[in-house]
Structure 1
Amino acid sequence: MEADSVYNQWSLENDTDYGEYNVVEPCSYASNRSLEQVLGPYVHSIISILGFLGNGLVIVTYACYKRTKSMMGIFLVNVAIADLLFVVALPLIVYNEMSSWSMGQVACKLLRGTYSVNLYSGMLLLACISTDRYIAIVQARRSFRLRSLFYSRIICTIVWVSAILLSVPTFYFYHWYEPSHTRQIFMIHEENVSFTPHYVCELKFSDNDTAWRTKVAVPSTQMAVGFFLPLLIMIFCYTAVIITLLRAKNFQRHKAVRVVLAVVAVFIICHLPYNITLLYDTVEMFDLHPCEVSDAMLMAKTVIQTIAYLHCCLNPVLYAFMGVKFRNHFRRIVQDLCYLRCFSRASSKINTSNCRVVYQISDTNSSLNV
């Protein structure tokens, strides 16, 4: 959900029936609100649940087996952490935006800031993964020196610090407040009419110059650092990777090419439409449009943004579960759990020995596939 002001179109007109001025109410955006009533509680909830399970499994798998802590593993764990924090914050943001924001100022800044940090860190880490694949495959001779745990931890630290610094405007300018157009009391023929206060968590500025600069700088930085930079790095690295793999006369290599193409295709499909919409919205931000046009634009943006959210569910599948070693380690966890369950339910020595035999056979088969 973006911080666009929903009520940004209003005017004052002369009217003899209501004194000197007739206050024309803001655009209601009824179609977009109806769409959000479906996407918010249902689609976004499904995305959050799938993203939580998928990324949680990635973190658990790497945490249980220290031997998987390669440079690639470190990057995958950090991507999973970023996506996990995102899917935890998403339902809270959606819940508060569907009604009056009820969680106060601290939650407003924390949730919006966390959303921004996870956006930048997740995208930059995907660029790091593509660079790691480039070094491992294209620059294989130098990969042992460059792909160390020490370097991976330094890179991840730089990524998270950069994401926090890039999110400072979000932490600073987002506020919990009641917009002036939703004040409880309107004077109509000298009568007071009370309304339930409606609070929002949106960007708020002290002057127009700051508002103009920030509303242009924030989405521009998000597009440049959060999309175009990772996209260019991925295109360069994976193009070199594909060329190198195609030179190898090996079935597994060609299978790896399909995985690389899937990674790039999913990234573009999920994020390119949203960033094009964000670019258009930034250019047209200060232009007035009829309510019907603005409502249609918001609906398109809501749908495209939901598609972008899907990427946090697909990351575990694309980057982790497609890897042979990760699948083997994940299978090992399942086998361990099955063994413990079987052992706990064993009521005799025969049953216990059967459990151990099954576990040892499965473990041997798994080890052969690594």
Structure 2
Amino acid sequence: MNPTDLPDTTLDESIYSNYYLYDSLPKPCTKDGVKAFGKLFLPPLYSLVFLLGLLGNSVVVLVLFKYKRLKSMTDVYLLNLAISDLLFVLSLPFWGYYAADQWVFGLGLCKFIYWMYLVGFYSGIFFIMLMSIDRYLAIVHAVFSLRARTLTYGVITSLVTWSVAIFASLPGLLFSTCYTERNHTYCQARFSVNSTTWKVLSLLEINVLGLVVPLAVMLFCYSMIIRTLQNCKNEKRSKAVKMIFTVVVLFLCFWTPYNVVIFLETLVELEVLQDCTLERYLEYAIQATETLAFVHCCLNPVIYFFLGLKFRKYIVQLFKTCSGPFVLCRDCGILRLYSAETPSSSYTQSTMDHDLHDAL
């Protein structure tokens, strides 16, 4: 019998077997619920962080220029930290609109905003680390700090820090792109070659530069400061230790959850963790912990600026003499009250008081 005369059961069996094989394959992990959650909650949260961060850090910059006049390394670091946070928060309105709708600002702004966000992120972390080192030098190596903690060295180290932050943000600038998929326009990093490797490296970069290195530096510096203060009979010691504890705990509370989630995301990219439900939960967690980390840039003015007694006086005076926080003061006679700062040629108890007051 000719094979063509046989019933075409083989073709039918093949069709059904392929159908059931396809039906048994794992379906794509959909994350529509995550997108709906982000569209509802992220825009108002980003707007709140933007307003608080813009207000607080703008006041810091205004007071530094009006009253402090950038006379020390600490002042330079405070200014750069405020500028870093301003860069960071200025990107949030774009991300807020993006979360609510889609990216409508074009490729050029996509790359620039993505890069500005990363530069603000890394530089802010780095200047927090530098301020820890500045405190360490002021308290633990007080005599050496008289030569090291100068305005010139502050400017030089700040320029180096900005250079490192810009270099660390280059992958975001190079690989961020604007593309349309299913009638929705996205702005995010896309790695065309070795995409998994590049994405894992970028996630690890956030973990290492955003948590591991600064946390190690902070723990070392502040542990040495506390040890030094324990051997010093000073009425401000308790207040200084409390502030150190506050700085470290807040840094851990606001940044550790985000970095833990980023690390788990790295394991997903490496296919160490493979579960659709887990991936969806991680997407929710990224949105929540990232917003929590954003809040830290609003707290920086409080942690590093407003808690000082002298700075509180500046803030009170600023709002007394100004019609608003962003209007130049008409009466600047208060400058004479704070200009009589006489440097000491030797390290004394009053020098320690000054270091605890200004550096902490």
TM-score surpassing 0.5?
yes
Match of 1:215 among 195, 199, 217: 199
Secondary structure at the aligned position of 1:178 is classed as: strand
Distance change (3 Å), C-alpha of 1:255 and 1:292: same
Q: Is the 8 A contact 2:207 2:259 kept in 1?
A: yes
Q: Which runs of 5+ in 2 are unaligned?
A: 1-14, 342-356
Secondary structure at the aligned position of 1:250 is classed as: coil
Secondary structure at the aligned position of 1:205 is classed as: coil
Secondary structure at the aligned position of 1:177 is classed as: strand
Distance change (3 Å), C-alpha of 1:166 and 1:15: farther
State yes or no: 1:296 paired with 2:296. no
Q: Is the 8 A contact 2:254 2:293 kept in 1?
A: yes
Which residue is 2:351 aligned to?
Answer: none
Distance change (3 Å), C-alpha of 1:364 and 1:116: closer
Match of 1:262 among 209, 226, 246: 246
How many residue pairs match? The answer is: 323
Q: Is the 8 A contact 1:15 1:21 kept in 2?
A: no
Secondary structure at the aligned position of 1:69 is classed as: coil
Q: Which runs of 5+ in 1 are unaligned?
A: 1-13, 183-196, 345-355
Which residue is 2:229 aligned to?
Answer: 245
**Letter paired with 2:309:** V
C-alpha deviation, 1:294, in angstroms: 1.9
**Letter paired with 2:131:** I
Q: Is the 8 A contact 2:57 2:82 kept in 1?
A: yes
Match of 1:229 among 173, 194, 213: 213
C-alpha deviation, 1:363, in angstroms: 8.4
For the aligned residues, what is the CA RMSD?
3.2
Which residue is 1:58 aligned to?
Answer: 60
Which residue is 2:263 aligned to?
Answer: 279
State yes or no: 1:88 paired with 2:97. no
Match of 1:331 among 316, 323, 340: 316
C-alpha deviation, 1:213, in angstroms: 2.2
Distance change (3 Å), C-alpha of 1:362 and 1:58: closer
Which residue is 1:198 aligned to?
Answer: 184
C-alpha deviation, 1:225, in angstroms: 1.6
Q: Is the 8 A contact 1:31 1:299 kept in 2?
A: no
Q: Is the 8 A contact 2:72 2:150 kept in 1?
A: yes
Q: Distance in 1 between matches of 2:102 and 2:264?
A: 28
Distance change (3 Å), C-alpha of 1:261 and 1:67: same
Q: Distance in 1 between matches of 2:334 and 2:178?
A: 59
Q: Is the 8 A contact 1:61 1:333 kept in 2?
A: yes
The TM-score normalised by the length of structure 2 is: 0.81
Q: Is the 8 A contact 1:108 1:201 kept in 2?
A: yes
Q: Distance in 2 between matches of 1:361 and 1:62?
A: 14
C-alpha deviation, 1:38, in angstroms: 3.5
Distance change (3 Å), C-alpha of 1:46 and 1:17: same
The TM-score normalised by the length of structure 1 is: 0.79
Which range moves more in the overlay, 162-171 or 35-44? 35-44
Matched-pair identity in %: 34
